[in-house]
Amino acid sequence: MIKNPKWLSLLLGNCILIFVMQLINNGLGALTINIYINALFLFIPILLVPYSTGLLSVIITSCILDASALFPFGTSTVLFSLVYTVYFWIYQRFKSHSDLHNMLLLQSANAITFSLMSVFINSSNYSNFYFWASILLNLFFSQILLLFITRWFLSLQYSLLNCFAFKSQFRSG
C-alpha cells in the first residue's frame, strides 16, 4: 500500500475538509452546534481506491482528528478502521451501486460513527436528557449538511487523484 501513493492524494483532500469543518464548527460555537461529517473520510476511499490504500488514508486522517481531541489518542483511529472494513465488505456485496445506495451507506456510516463515539466517550452522561438532545440535534444537522457536501468532496478527491496523475474510476454506476 505504501507503493501506491494514491493515499497521499486522499489525505490531502481529507486535510482540506478537516480544515473547512474546523472553521465551520469554530463559527457555530456560539450556537453550541457541532457538525460531524467524518464518515466521508472512510467512505470516499471505498469508492475510489483499493482496500489497503484506503485503510492507510483512514488511519492517518483519524490520527490527525484524534491529535487535538481530549479523549484518548487512537479512539477514532480504531473505530474508523473497523467501520471502514465493515463498510468495504458491505459495499463489495451490494449488487446495486447507484448514488442513492451510496448515499444511504454514507448516511448510516456517519450516524453509526457519531453515535458510537458519543457512547464510548461520554459514558457518565447516559442519564442526562441534554446529552441525548444534544447528540440527536447535532446528528440531524450533520446528516443534512452531509447531503450537500458529499458531491463536492467526492469531486474534490477525484480531481486531486487526476491532478496527481492517478487514473481512478468510480466504482459506482
For another protein, the binding residues (CB under 8 A) are 19, 22-23, 25-26, 28-34, 36, 50-52, 55, 59, 63-64, 66-71, 73-74, 77-78, 81-82, 85, 88-89, 92, 117-118, 121-122, 124-125, 128, 130-131, 133-135, 137-138, 141
In angstroms, the Cα distances linking 144 to 57, 91, 107, 153 are: 25, 22, 9, 15
Nearer to another protein, 16 or 103 (CB): 16
CB of 9 vs another protein, minimal distance in Å: 18
Rounded CA-CA distance 14/63 in Å is 12
Nearer to another protein, 123 or 151 (CB): 123
For residue 118, which of 83, 65, 79 has the smallest C-alpha distance?
79
Nearer to another protein, 133 or 147 (CB): 133
Rounded CA-CA distance 52/56 in Å is 6
Nearer to another protein, 52 or 159 (CB): 52
Strands of 38-157 (E only): list them.
none
Rounded CA-CA distance 42/63 in Å is 13
Nearer to another protein, 54 or 106 (CB): 54
CB of 149 vs another protein, minimal distance in Å: 18
Helix (H) or strand (E) holding 166: none
Rounded CA-CA distance 139/143 in Å is 6
CB of 155 vs another protein, minimal distance in Å: 22
CB of 117 vs another protein, minimal distance in Å: 7
74: Cβ contacts below 8 Å, ≥ 6 apart: 63, 66
CB of 115 vs another protein, minimal distance in Å: 10
